[in-house]
Structure 1
């Protein structure tokens, strides 16, 4: 028995949640293509071998990062509004106003990770762009579903086009993300949100 009292054995495992949080921020700030394995291991506090053992390759890590981001307050507010608001107009009002506050928040990189992280990828990484595009299209489909339901319940006039309206709000939200990355303030983005809400179809007199 050693008199030093020091226990020998394997070093403590890294904190997966903490490592993912660091990776989220790096991918969010620099995008998929510009983020290297070296930078990832540095901010995550692990060696390359540990990264590959725990997460697989860079693409697999990125996909886990995106799913973790989607569960965070910065990534979950769209789904929460669609689920929680009793009216479609209330849901989109909340989404747009929260986007105006979340996207330029200085506590994290600007904009939305799923909108901006794969704007420039090589042919070899086209699957990453497709992965994010599928997530954005899923949001678009959720918008359309909510708007069709609103129309069926009389909240939208019969002449309204739920698909076009969903595409419009998706385009506004994506544009707000980019404006935030370009330095737009919460005040500017709130103005954009209010203008977008003014496009909500009204019943004809």
Structure 2
């Protein structure tokens, strides 16, 4: 007789965590529905749809879980109690630590899991693109605040400097997945911040 119910040990929260790691490691299109079901304890298709609705719905929920846990490393970008430079530095350094952690896949799920998809993955690609756009805007706001607060020279290229920092943030994912050492990231972030310091308004007084 075919099994149609969930296994007795099915734990939806645990299954969601498993799915998050699979999507993070292999990408949205790199994980099949069968792989997801098997990793969740061999649940049936009926049980899968009853619990999560569909693969895309599961991905969106898994991404939301990622953002609420691991994705919080970039929250400093929006912390106005910090100086603009400190916001950038904390977000970059915390992201580097998270992306090279051993307890989960390397890199950033937002950057890696659906950046390139077939036409069938357009909607999930849009979700992660929106998250990256939000971070891009927050980085731009940090640099813009630096100029507005008189910390950076008025002629600072806000777009160029913010694009540099976003490039570092996004690039961490590829390098982390390639196995670049964590200490190298720390040194790279220090070097990137020198671009901020080169535009320091105080240099005008020298």
Structure 1: runs of 5+ lacking an equivalent:
1-9
Q: Are residue 141 (structure 1) and residue 129 (structure 2) matched? A: no
Aligned to 1:76: 72
- Are residues 1:131 and 2:127 paired? yes
- Cα shift at 1:12: 6.1
Greater shift after overlay, 145-154 or 91-100?
145-154
Q: Normalized against structure 1, the TM-score is what?
A: 0.86
- Tell me the CA shift for residue 69 of structure 1: 0.2
The TM-score with structure 2 as length reference comes to 0.86
Shift of 1:82: 3.0
Counterpart in the other structure of 2:55: 58
Q: CA RMSD in A?
A: 2.0
C-alpha separation in 1, matches of 2:48 and 2:79: 35
**Residue number among 181, 198, 202 corresponding to 2:200 in the alignment:** 202
Structure-2 residue corresponding to 1:162 = 158
Q: CA deviation at 1:129?
A: 1.5
Matches within 5 A, 1:1-205: 14-45=10-41, 46-72=43-69, 74-83=70-79, 86-200=82-196, 201-203=199-201, 204-205=203-204
> C-alpha distance in 2, partners of 1:11/1:27?
23
- Given that residues 88 and 146 in structure 1 are in contact (C-alpha distance below 8 angstroms), is that contact kept between their aligned partners in structure 2? yes
| SS state at 1:33 partner | coil
Asked if the contact 1:103–1:112 (Cα under 8 Å) also holds between the matched residues in 2, the reply is yes
Please name the residue that 2:3 is paired with. none
Q: Which runs of 5+ in 2 are unaligned?
A: 1-5
Structure 2 CA distance for aligned equivalents of residues 54 and 156 of structure 1: 51
Q: Show CA shifts across 1:102-130 (max 9, x none).
A: 11111110000000011331112122212
- The residue number in structure 2 matching 1:5 is none
Q: Report the secondary structure of 1:198's partner residue.
A: helix
**Partners of 1:71 and 1:29 in 2: CA distance:** 18
Distance 2:12 2:157 in 1: 45
